[in-house]
Amino acid sequence: MSSRTALSMALALCLVGGLLWQRTAGFSAFTYETWRQSQVVRQRPPVSDWRLQDDQGKVVRLSDWGEQVLLVSFIFTRCTSVCGALGVRYRQLQRAMEATGSKRVRLLSVSIDPAHDTPERLAEYRSRFGGARTSWTIARPADEQTLSTLISETGLRVIPDRTGGFAHSDSLHWIRDGRLVRISAWTDPALEGLLTDAG
């Protein structure tokens, strides 16, 4: 093998390696979900002031939470898989918040199926877990526009499954001061720390 060939091969290796490195955020993100997480940490994209309707029929806006850290998860009430686990997890976090008296974090479950999930159905979803309204809001997008806005702003992928429901991400979206600052798994143990940490 000539030195010219060896050099060219090394360059080619650098080229494809560099492209792989660039796409996978330094060989760390191999699926869209992890890639989305790494992009958010880097870019902290702004989110608009979503108009939502809660389980009492009241219209709420993202800006209502001010400087509190909002943990947003996406659910739909007909969901038979992860949405139940998300509800249990939120109730657990809520208990931890009540125990410490922390007001730093607020929880928000947003339905991705607003046509079906009326405020009554959202209230029924809450009753499955028994959480109080004070720190945990369950809501649906107030209009179609908000639904598509929040999907595009969070990079969420929602695809219909074969049972009339949806396959969607079960991650928690951290929103603070109108920016999406982090996306973490709902099982992330760091969430407990977030409830009490200052700063």
Q: Is 24 in the site for other proteins (CB under 8 A)?
A: yes
Beta bridge partners of 74: 110
Q: Which candidate, 106, 95, 44, 40, places its Cα nearest to that of 72?
A: 106
Give the one residue of 3, 5, 80, 101 binding other proteins; rule: CB under 8 A: 5
Residues 73, 90 contacting (CB under 8 angstroms): yes
For 181, phi then psi, to 5°, come to -105, -20
Reduced to 3 states (helix: H, G, I; strand: E, B; else coil), residue 136 is strand
Q: Supply the minimum distance, in Å, between the C-beta of residue 9 and other proteins.
A: 5
- CB neighbours (10 Å) of residue 55? 23
Closer residue to other proteins, CB minimum distance, 2 or 101: 2
Per the CB < 8 A criterion, the answer to whether 76 and 166 are in contact is yes
Backbone angles phi, psi at 184, to 5 degrees: -130, 160
Nearer to other proteins, 59 or 167 (CB): 167
Closest approach of other proteins to the CB of residue 180, in Å: 17
| 179-184/172-176 β-pairing | antiparallel
Q: Would you count residue 47 as binding other proteins (CB under 8 A)?
A: no
Rounded to an integer, what distance in angstroms lies between the CA atom of residue 41 and that of residue 28?
13
The angle formed by the CA atoms of residues 40, 88 and 69, to the nearest 5 degrees, is 35
Rounded CA-CA distance 147/39 in Å is 21
27 near other proteins, rule: CB under 8 A: no
Stretch binding other proteins (CB under 8 A), from 13-21, 47-55, 99-107, 190-198: 13-21
* Least distance between other proteins and beta carbon 22 (Å): 10
Q: Which is nearer to other proteins, 114 or 155 (by Cβ)?
A: 155
Is residue 9 close enough to count as binding other proteins by CB under 8 A? yes
Q: Does residue number 31 form part of the binding site for other proteins (CB under 8 A)?
A: yes
- The binding site for Cu cation comprises 79, 83
Taking CB under 8 A as the rule, which mask of x and - marks residues 66-85 in contact with other proteins?
--------------------
* Residue with smaller CB distance to other proteins, 33 or 124: 33
**Rule CB under 8 A: which residues touch other proteins?**
1, 5, 8-9, 12-13, 15-17, 19-20, 23-24, 29-35, 157, 159, 161-162, 167, 169
